[in-house]
Chain A
Amino acid sequence: MNFPVTVTVTLRKGIADPEGATIERALPALGFGGVTQVRAGKSFHMMIDAANEADALANATALAQRLLSNPVIEDATVRLGASEWDTP
Protein backbone atom coordinates (compact mmCIF):
# COMPACT_ATOMS: atom_id res chain seq x y z
CA MET A 1 0.00 0.00 0.00
CA ASN A 2 1.06 3.57 -0.64
CA PHE A 3 1.01 5.96 2.30
CA PRO A 4 1.43 9.72 2.03
CA VAL A 5 3.97 11.02 4.53
CA THR A 6 5.05 14.57 5.26
CA VAL A 7 8.40 15.39 6.85
CA THR A 8 8.93 18.89 8.21
CA VAL A 9 12.46 20.05 8.94
CA THR A 10 13.06 23.12 11.07
CA LEU A 11 16.09 24.55 12.83
CA ARG A 12 16.44 23.37 16.41
CA LYS A 13 15.39 25.68 19.17
CA GLY A 14 18.26 28.01 20.03
CA ILE A 15 19.85 27.76 16.57
CA ALA A 16 19.90 31.10 14.77
CA ASP A 17 17.51 31.24 11.83
CA PRO A 18 18.63 34.11 9.54
CA GLU A 19 16.00 33.24 6.93
CA GLY A 20 13.13 33.33 9.42
CA ALA A 21 14.48 36.51 11.02
CA THR A 22 14.75 38.27 7.66
CA ILE A 23 11.16 37.36 6.77
CA GLU A 24 10.02 38.49 10.21
CA ARG A 25 11.67 41.87 9.77
CA ALA A 26 10.24 42.31 6.26
CA LEU A 27 6.62 41.63 7.20
CA PRO A 28 5.71 45.04 8.70
CA ALA A 29 7.04 46.82 5.60
CA LEU A 30 4.77 44.63 3.50
CA GLY A 31 1.77 45.54 5.60
CA PHE A 32 1.52 42.29 7.56
CA GLY A 33 1.16 43.13 11.23
CA GLY A 34 0.78 40.94 14.26
CA VAL A 35 3.43 38.36 13.36
CA THR A 36 5.65 38.01 16.40
CA GLN A 37 7.88 35.15 15.28
CA VAL A 38 8.87 33.40 12.05
CA ARG A 39 10.89 30.22 11.78
CA ALA A 40 11.80 29.02 8.28
CA GLY A 41 12.02 25.34 7.39
CA LYS A 42 11.44 22.79 4.67
CA SER A 43 8.82 20.16 4.08
CA PHE A 44 9.06 16.95 2.09
CA HIS A 45 6.04 15.09 0.76
CA MET A 46 6.51 11.44 -0.07
CA MET A 47 4.54 8.38 -1.02
CA ILE A 48 5.87 5.33 0.78
CA ASP A 49 5.06 1.78 -0.20
CA ALA A 50 4.72 -0.25 3.00
CA ALA A 51 2.66 -3.03 4.56
CA ASN A 52 1.03 -0.71 7.07
CA GLU A 53 1.09 2.80 8.50
CA ALA A 54 3.59 1.95 11.22
CA ASP A 55 6.09 0.60 8.70
CA ALA A 56 5.64 3.62 6.47
CA LEU A 57 6.24 5.94 9.41
CA ALA A 58 9.30 3.99 10.56
CA ASN A 59 10.80 4.15 7.07
CA ALA A 60 10.12 7.88 6.80
CA THR A 61 11.47 8.59 10.27
CA ALA A 62 14.72 6.78 9.50
CA LEU A 63 15.31 8.66 6.28
CA ALA A 64 14.25 11.96 7.85
CA GLN A 65 16.90 11.56 10.51
CA ARG A 66 19.64 10.15 8.29
CA LEU A 67 19.26 12.32 5.19
CA LEU A 68 16.57 15.00 5.24
CA SER A 69 17.75 16.70 8.42
CA ASN A 70 21.08 17.41 10.04
CA PRO A 71 20.50 16.56 13.73
CA VAL A 72 23.28 18.96 14.74
CA ILE A 73 21.11 21.94 13.83
CA GLU A 74 17.71 20.64 12.74
CA ASP A 75 14.66 18.79 14.03
CA ALA A 76 12.52 16.61 11.79
CA THR A 77 8.89 15.82 12.44
CA VAL A 78 7.18 13.05 10.52
CA ARG A 79 3.44 12.65 10.05
CA LEU A 80 1.15 10.53 7.98
CA GLY A 81 -0.85 12.32 5.35
CA ALA A 82 -0.02 15.08 2.92
CA SER A 83 -2.58 17.80 2.46
CA GLU A 84 -1.06 18.76 -0.89
CA TRP A 85 -1.55 15.31 -2.35
CA ASP A 86 -4.33 12.85 -2.78
CA THR A 87 -3.43 9.22 -2.46
CA PRO A 88 -3.14 7.96 -6.05
Chain B
Amino acid sequence: MTKIGVVIFPGSNCEYDALSAMTALGAEADFIWHSTHTIEGYDGIILPGGFAHGDYLRPGALARFSPVMGAIADFANRGGAVLGICNGFQVLTEAGLLPGALQKNRGLTFLCQPTTLIVASTKSVLTRGATKGQELSIPINHFSGAYTCDDETYQRLIANDQVVLRYKDNPNGSRDDIAGVSNVEGNVVGLMPHPERAMSTLLGSDDGRVLLESFLRAPVSAA
Protein backbone atom coordinates (compact mmCIF):
# COMPACT_ATOMS: atom_id res chain seq x y z
CA MET B 1 0.00 0.00 0.00
CA THR B 2 1.16 3.50 -0.77
CA LYS B 3 2.25 5.38 2.31
CA ILE B 4 2.08 9.16 2.47
CA GLY B 5 3.57 11.44 5.11
CA VAL B 6 1.82 14.72 5.89
CA VAL B 7 4.18 17.25 7.47
CA ILE B 8 2.94 19.38 10.36
CA PHE B 9 4.64 22.68 11.07
CA PRO B 10 3.57 24.82 14.02
CA GLY B 11 0.68 26.70 12.40
CA SER B 12 -0.26 24.17 9.73
CA ASN B 13 -4.04 23.81 9.62
CA CYS B 14 -4.94 21.63 6.63
CA GLU B 15 -3.10 18.50 7.75
CA TYR B 16 -6.23 16.57 8.68
CA ASP B 17 -7.89 17.41 5.37
CA ALA B 18 -4.82 16.16 3.51
CA LEU B 19 -4.60 13.03 5.64
CA SER B 20 -8.26 12.14 5.22
CA ALA B 21 -8.08 12.76 1.47
CA MET B 22 -5.22 10.29 1.26
CA THR B 23 -6.97 7.61 3.32
CA ALA B 24 -10.21 8.17 1.36
CA LEU B 25 -8.26 7.28 -1.76
CA GLY B 26 -6.99 4.09 -0.18
CA ALA B 27 -3.53 5.15 0.89
CA GLU B 28 -1.95 4.78 4.27
CA ALA B 29 -1.01 8.15 5.73
CA ASP B 30 0.44 9.58 8.90
CA PHE B 31 1.79 12.83 10.25
CA ILE B 32 5.43 13.93 10.37
CA TRP B 33 6.32 16.61 12.94
CA HIS B 34 8.52 19.35 11.49
CA SER B 35 11.41 18.81 13.91
CA THR B 36 11.97 15.28 12.61
CA HIS B 37 15.39 14.91 10.98
CA THR B 38 14.79 11.78 8.91
CA ILE B 39 11.83 10.46 6.97
CA GLU B 40 11.73 6.80 6.06
CA GLY B 41 9.29 4.41 4.51
CA TYR B 42 7.20 6.98 2.64
CA ASP B 43 6.14 6.87 -1.00
CA GLY B 44 5.15 10.51 -1.01
CA ILE B 45 5.22 13.61 1.18
CA ILE B 46 2.59 16.34 1.46
CA LEU B 47 3.25 19.80 2.86
CA PRO B 48 -0.25 20.98 3.79
CA GLY B 49 -1.83 24.41 3.93
CA GLY B 50 -1.86 26.73 6.89
CA PHE B 51 0.44 29.32 8.39
CA ALA B 52 3.70 27.52 9.15
CA HIS B 53 5.56 29.37 11.91
CA GLY B 54 2.81 31.98 11.79
CA ASP B 55 3.89 33.07 8.30
CA TYR B 56 6.20 35.52 10.09
CA LEU B 57 8.74 37.28 7.90
CA ARG B 58 7.24 35.76 4.74
CA PRO B 59 5.06 32.67 4.22
CA GLY B 60 7.42 29.70 4.26
CA ALA B 61 10.51 31.72 5.18
CA LEU B 62 10.94 30.17 8.62
CA ALA B 63 9.46 26.75 7.77
CA ARG B 64 12.23 26.32 5.25
CA PHE B 65 14.65 26.01 8.18
CA SER B 66 12.64 23.35 10.03
CA PRO B 67 14.78 20.22 10.46
CA VAL B 68 12.45 18.06 8.35
CA MET B 69 13.13 20.20 5.26
CA GLY B 70 16.62 18.75 4.83
CA ALA B 71 15.16 15.25 4.74
CA ILE B 72 12.46 16.37 2.31
CA ALA B 73 15.06 17.91 0.00
CA ASP B 74 16.98 14.60 0.01
CA PHE B 75 13.76 12.68 -0.64
CA ALA B 76 12.88 15.01 -3.53
CA ASN B 77 16.37 14.81 -4.99
CA ARG B 78 16.11 11.01 -5.01
CA GLY B 79 12.94 11.34 -7.09
CA GLY B 80 10.41 11.09 -4.27
CA ALA B 81 6.97 12.58 -4.88
CA VAL B 82 6.51 15.82 -2.92
CA LEU B 83 3.34 17.90 -3.00
CA GLY B 84 3.00 21.38 -1.49
CA ILE B 85 -0.53 22.69 -1.15
CA CYS B 86 -1.05 26.42 -0.55
CA ASN B 87 1.28 27.23 2.36
CA GLY B 88 3.16 24.04 1.45
CA PHE B 89 3.75 25.51 -2.01
CA GLN B 90 5.11 28.67 -0.40
CA VAL B 91 7.43 26.57 1.76
CA LEU B 92 8.73 24.66 -1.29
CA THR B 93 9.54 27.89 -3.16
CA GLU B 94 11.29 29.37 -0.13
CA ALA B 95 13.28 26.13 0.21
CA GLY B 96 14.36 26.38 -3.41
CA LEU B 97 12.71 23.07 -4.31
CA LEU B 98 10.41 24.90 -6.72
CA PRO B 99 11.18 28.01 -8.78
CA GLY B 100 9.59 31.43 -8.27
CA ALA B 101 7.81 32.95 -5.29
CA LEU B 102 4.30 33.68 -4.03
CA GLN B 103 3.46 37.30 -3.45
CA LYS B 104 0.53 39.07 -1.84
CA ASN B 105 -2.60 38.86 -3.98
CA ARG B 106 -3.31 41.62 -6.44
CA GLY B 107 -5.77 43.91 -4.64
CA LEU B 108 -4.48 42.78 -1.23
CA THR B 109 -7.56 40.66 -0.62
CA PHE B 110 -7.67 37.33 1.18
CA LEU B 111 -9.38 35.02 -1.30
CA CYS B 112 -11.54 32.06 -0.27
CA GLN B 113 -13.59 30.86 -3.23
CA PRO B 114 -14.01 28.12 -5.80
CA THR B 115 -11.81 28.53 -8.87
CA THR B 116 -11.71 26.82 -12.22
CA LEU B 117 -8.31 25.39 -13.06
CA ILE B 118 -7.05 24.25 -16.42
CA VAL B 119 -4.58 21.37 -16.57
CA ALA B 120 -1.55 22.80 -18.39
CA SER B 121 0.82 19.85 -18.20
CA THR B 122 0.40 16.16 -17.49
CA LYS B 123 4.09 15.61 -16.88
CA SER B 124 3.94 16.06 -13.10
CA VAL B 125 3.10 13.52 -10.41
CA LEU B 126 -0.01 15.57 -9.61
CA THR B 127 -1.44 15.77 -13.11
CA ARG B 128 -0.34 12.64 -14.94
CA GLY B 129 -3.78 11.12 -14.49
CA ALA B 130 -5.54 14.20 -15.82
CA THR B 131 -5.98 15.40 -19.39
CA LYS B 132 -4.31 18.46 -20.79
CA GLY B 133 -6.89 21.23 -21.06
CA GLN B 134 -9.20 19.55 -18.53
CA GLU B 135 -11.11 21.99 -16.33
CA LEU B 136 -11.27 21.34 -12.60
CA SER B 137 -13.26 23.16 -9.92
CA ILE B 138 -11.02 23.49 -6.87
CA PRO B 139 -11.14 26.12 -4.11
CA ILE B 140 -8.45 28.60 -3.13
CA ASN B 141 -7.91 30.05 0.33
CA HIS B 142 -4.93 32.40 0.50
CA PHE B 143 -3.55 35.90 0.89
CA SER B 144 -0.16 35.40 -0.74
CA GLY B 145 -0.90 33.42 -3.87
CA ALA B 146 0.26 35.56 -6.75
CA TYR B 147 2.87 33.47 -8.51
CA THR B 148 5.91 35.55 -9.43
CA CYS B 149 9.20 34.83 -11.15
CA ASP B 150 11.72 36.65 -13.31
CA ASP B 151 11.68 36.40 -17.11
CA GLU B 152 14.50 33.90 -17.26
CA THR B 153 12.76 31.55 -14.83
CA TYR B 154 9.50 31.98 -16.71
CA GLN B 155 11.14 30.99 -20.01
CA ARG B 156 12.56 27.89 -18.36
CA LEU B 157 9.16 26.99 -16.87
CA ILE B 158 7.60 27.13 -20.33
CA ALA B 159 10.48 25.36 -22.08
CA ASN B 160 10.44 22.49 -19.56
CA ASP B 161 6.66 22.18 -19.35
CA GLN B 162 6.72 23.03 -15.62
CA VAL B 163 3.48 25.01 -15.50
CA VAL B 164 1.14 22.37 -14.17
CA LEU B 165 -2.14 24.23 -13.62
CA ARG B 166 -3.51 27.63 -14.64
CA TYR B 167 -6.50 29.62 -13.40
CA LYS B 168 -9.25 30.06 -15.96
CA ASP B 169 -10.06 33.47 -14.41
CA ASN B 170 -6.95 34.74 -12.69
CA PRO B 171 -8.10 35.63 -9.15
CA ASN B 172 -4.88 36.89 -7.59
CA GLY B 173 -2.57 38.43 -10.19
CA SER B 174 -0.40 35.35 -10.75
CA ARG B 175 1.98 35.63 -13.67
CA ASP B 176 0.50 33.95 -16.76
CA ASP B 177 -2.45 32.71 -14.62
CA ILE B 178 -0.16 30.15 -12.98
CA ALA B 179 -1.81 28.17 -10.16
CA GLY B 180 0.78 25.41 -9.80
CA VAL B 181 4.27 24.48 -10.97
CA SER B 182 6.58 21.48 -10.80
CA ASN B 183 10.32 21.03 -10.78
CA VAL B 184 11.99 19.98 -14.05
CA GLU B 185 11.61 16.27 -13.24
CA GLY B 186 7.95 16.63 -12.30
CA ASN B 187 8.24 14.83 -8.95
CA VAL B 188 7.95 18.00 -6.85
CA VAL B 189 4.74 19.97 -7.34
CA GLY B 190 3.23 22.99 -5.63
CA LEU B 191 -0.15 24.61 -6.11
CA MET B 192 -2.14 27.30 -4.32
CA PRO B 193 -5.60 25.69 -4.73
CA HIS B 194 -6.69 22.94 -2.31
CA PRO B 195 -7.43 19.63 -4.06
CA GLU B 196 -7.92 17.98 -0.63
CA ARG B 197 -10.97 20.22 -0.18
CA ALA B 198 -12.50 19.03 -3.44
CA MET B 199 -13.05 15.38 -2.58
CA SER B 200 -16.85 15.17 -2.57
CA THR B 201 -19.64 16.62 -4.70
CA LEU B 202 -21.60 17.00 -1.45
CA LEU B 203 -19.07 19.68 -0.51
CA GLY B 204 -19.04 21.36 -3.89
CA SER B 205 -16.66 19.37 -6.04
CA ASP B 206 -14.75 16.13 -6.26
CA ASP B 207 -12.35 17.38 -8.92
CA GLY B 208 -9.44 17.16 -6.49
CA ARG B 209 -9.59 13.39 -6.72
CA VAL B 210 -8.07 13.11 -10.18
CA LEU B 211 -5.06 15.11 -8.97
CA LEU B 212 -4.54 13.31 -5.68
CA GLU B 213 -5.08 9.90 -7.29
CA SER B 214 -2.30 10.83 -9.74
CA PHE B 215 -0.08 11.74 -6.83
CA LEU B 216 -0.73 8.37 -5.20
CA ARG B 217 0.01 6.30 -8.24
CA ALA B 218 3.20 8.15 -9.10
CA PRO B 219 6.05 5.69 -9.40
CA VAL B 220 8.40 6.43 -6.58
CA SER B 221 11.93 5.36 -6.02
CA ALA B 222 12.94 7.29 -2.97
CA ALA B 223 11.72 5.28 -0.01
A23 and B149 alpha carbons, distance in the complex (Å): 24
A16 interfacial contact with B, CB 8 Å: yes
Q: For chain A residues 42-88, which have a beta carbon within 8 Å of chain B? A: 67-68, 70, 72-73
Also in contact, A72 and B107, with CB within 8 A (given A16-B173, A67-B57): no
Q: Residue among A22, A68, A72 with the most chain B CB within 10 A?
A: A72
A19 and B104 alpha carbons, distance in the complex (Å): 8
Q: Is the CB of B148 within 8 A of A15?
A: yes
The tally of residues in A whose CB lies under 8 Å from a CB in B reads 11
* Residues of chain B with a CB closer than 8 A to A70's CB: 58, 61, 94, 101
The tally of residues in B whose CB lies under 8 Å from a CB in A reads 21
Q: Is the CB of B107 within 8 A of A18?
A: yes
**Closest CB of chain B to A71's CB: distance in Å?**
9
**Closest CB of chain A to B145's CB: distance in Å?**
12
A68 and B65 alpha carbons, distance in the complex (Å): 12
B108 interfacial contact with A, CB 8 Å: yes
Q: Is the CB of B108 within 8 A of A73?
A: no
Q: Is the CB of B148 within 8 A of A73?
A: yes
* Residues of chain A with a CB closer than 8 A to B124's CB: none
Q: Which residue of A lies closest to B108 (CB)?
A: A18
Also in contact, A15 and B57, with CB within 8 A (given A22-B108, A72-B149): no
Q: Is the CB of B146 within 8 A of A19?
A: no
* Residues of chain A with a CB closer than 8 A to B103's CB: 15-16, 18, 73
C-beta contact mask, B75-107 vs A, less than 8 Å → 1, else 0? Answer: 000000000000000000110000111011111
* Residues of chain A with a CB closer than 8 A to B106's CB: 16, 18
Contact of B101 among A14, A19, A22, A72 (CB under 8 A): A72
A88 and B58 alpha carbons, distance in the complex (Å): 30
Q: Which residue of B lies closest to A73 (CB)?
A: B101
* Residues of chain B with a CB closer than 8 A to A14's CB: 150
Q: Which residue of B lies closest to A11 (CB)?
A: B103
Contact of B57 among A16, A18, A19, A68 (CB under 8 A): A68
* Residues of chain A with a CB closer than 8 A to B146's CB: 16, 18
* A interface residues (Cβ-Cβ under 8 A, vs B): 14-16, 18-19, 22, 67-68, 70, 72-73
In the complex, the 9 A-B pairs of residues with the closest C-beta atoms, listed nearest first: A72-B101, A73-B101, A18-B108, A18-B104, A70-B101, A73-B148, A22-B108, A18-B106, A70-B58
Name 24 interchain pairs, CB-CB below 8 A, sorted by A.
Answer: A14-B150, A15-B103, A15-B148, A16-B103, A16-B106, A16-B146, A16-B173, A18-B103, A18-B105, A18-B107, A18-B108, A18-B173, A22-B108, A67-B61, A67-B65, A68-B57, A70-B94, A70-B101, A72-B100, A72-B149, A72-B150, A72-B153, A73-B101, A73-B148
